[in-house]
Amino acid sequence: VKSDPALWEKLGMDVARFSGMPPMLTNAYRGIFLSQQGRPEKMAYFDDMVANIHTGRIQEIYDAKVGGKPVIGTFCVYVPEELVVAAGGICIGLCGGAQGSIADAEKILPRNICPMVKSAFGFKVGKICPYFQVVDLVYGETTCDAKKKTWELLDRYVPTHVMEIPQMKRERDKWLWLDEVKDFKAAVERITDTITDFDAVAAGIKTVNAKRFALQRLNSLRHHNPSPISGKDMLLIEQIAFYDEPVRFAQKVHELCDELEQRIGSGIAVAPKSTPRIMVSGTPMALPNWKLHHIIESAGAIVVNEESCIGTRYYKDLIDEGSTDLEQQLERLTERYMKIDCSCFTPNDDRIAQVLKEYEESGAEGIIDYCLQFCHTYNIEAVKLREACEARDIPFMSIETDYSPDDVGQLQTRVEAFLEQI
Ligand code: BJ8
């Protein structure tokens, strides 16, 4: 992973402290990703994206910002990036997936909240994430308690706007969400100093639809048995989707898909057909959180699906592109977003049905439900998921963990015992 202290200086980072991070990431990446056997050649682009995560891509965003393009950071797949793209802005995901920033956050936030929130907050207060430094502002949301209260504090460090996301999916909630989407569009227009008319919104929808479609294609190819790509590589691509340039990213995903089609045709796989196939569901795994996938695949299984916001919840639905006016466009955008079955909604039975559907489609042989510590909504929803799986004799295990390495040994033991049931 490359370094560019001059760029980090310009971004106002704590350069002395941050300088130790690229070598740490390099070592982790070598051990977790580059050591895998038989990876597709087209993974080279995504390896490069990681190698340049603190240089090339951030330089690209910085140059665009200096050239007048605003950069907006988000923490939830409910924030409609189509409208940022439509206005000529850059939208990047800022969820934190690293243990290294948690101590910074715990100087201010309570310790017993979700590690994803602490990690993100710690990156900003410690000035140790170039992406947090390059954004003009961030857009939070009212999904869970940890997030919505943290935004009040984050606003002290970076301008933080908040969208109200309904907690139910009744007709009146859909209208509330449409109003929020309209407010968001107006806010983005103010920041970008542009008016996003019908054509601009159509272009934004087309670009983001194309990105989601490329990921759909990749996910359905990876479902093939034997698997043409590892679960770790798939997760990495799903993570990169949140900070790469969307048009180039979609093109590179399609190039990889073409290679996977050839691999499938020639019988080339990353693991034999007899390898236990695991689907992971639950809370998102933000970069560089590769902990559970690495444990599962090191135990001799392969991950074949992520029912997660860094996974299928991000790309399973596209926006209908057949609108004839702006109002209809925004309604269709709203409808698409309301299909995201985040556990912050109640009731949320559509998610249970979606998990079962993805289990069938992916040819998985067991589900590991992944809950970040203190994420009450996903942790409680695991009860219903377990019941649904037990009723269908689907092997199911729920785990609650954080980003620390402390429980790795215990998780390895549990995962190995689970794989023996399959
Ligand atoms: S739509 S899943 S991206 S909110 S894991 S911070 S919920 S305590 S991430 Fe999420 Fe949007 Fe929902 Fe998806 Fe809170 Fe839970 Fe932490 Fe979470």
Tens of pLDDT along 53-86?
999 999 999 999 999 999 999 999 999 999 999 9
Nearest residue by C-alpha to atom 13 in ligand 1: 309
Atom of ligand 1 at shortest range from CA of 117 = 6
Six token digits for residue 41: 């050649």
pLDDT, tens digit only, all 422 positions of the chain: 889 999 999 999 999 999 999 999 999 999 999 999 999 999 999 999 999 999 999 999 999 999 999 999 999 999 999 999 999 999 999 999 999 999 999 999 999 999 999 999 999 999 999 999 999 999 999 999 999 999 999 999 999 999 999 999 999 999 999 999 999 999 999 999 999 999 999 999 999 999 999 999 999 999 999 999 999 999 999 999 999 999 999 999 999 999 999 999 999 999 999 999 999 999 999 999 999 999 999 999 999 999 999 999 999 999 999 999 999 999 999 999 999 999 999 999 999 999 999 999 999 999 999 999 999 999 999 999 999 999 999 999 999 999 999 999 999 999 999 999 99
Nearest residue by C-alpha to atom 8 in ligand 1: 375
pLDDT at 379: 98
Residue 272 CA to residue 318 CA, distance in Å, equals: 33
Three-class DSSP category at 405: helix
Residue 297 CA to residue 224 CA, distance in Å, equals: 17
pLDDT at 35: 96
Nearest residue by C-alpha to atom 11 in ligand 1: 76
Which residues contact residue 171 at a Cβ distance below 8 angstroms, ignoring those fewer than 6 apart? Answer: none
Q: Taking CB atoms and a 6 Å cutoff, what residues make up the pocket around ligand 1? A: 76-78, 114, 116-117, 143-144, 146-147, 283-284, 309, 340, 342, 344, 372, 375, 377-378
Atom of ligand 1 at shortest range from CA of 309 = 13
Among 375, 379, 399, which is best to mutate for testing ligand 1, by the most ligand atoms less than 8 A from CB? 375
Atom of ligand 1 at shortest range from CA of 144 = 14
**pTM, rounded to two decimals:** 0.98
Where do the H-state alpha helices sit in 93-170? Answer: 102-106, 115-125, 130-134, 145-154
Atom of ligand 1 at shortest range from CA of 343 = 12
How close is the Cα of 121 to the center of ligand 1, in Å? 14
Residue 146 CA to residue 250 CA, distance in Å, equals: 33
ipTM score assigned to the predicted complex: 0.94
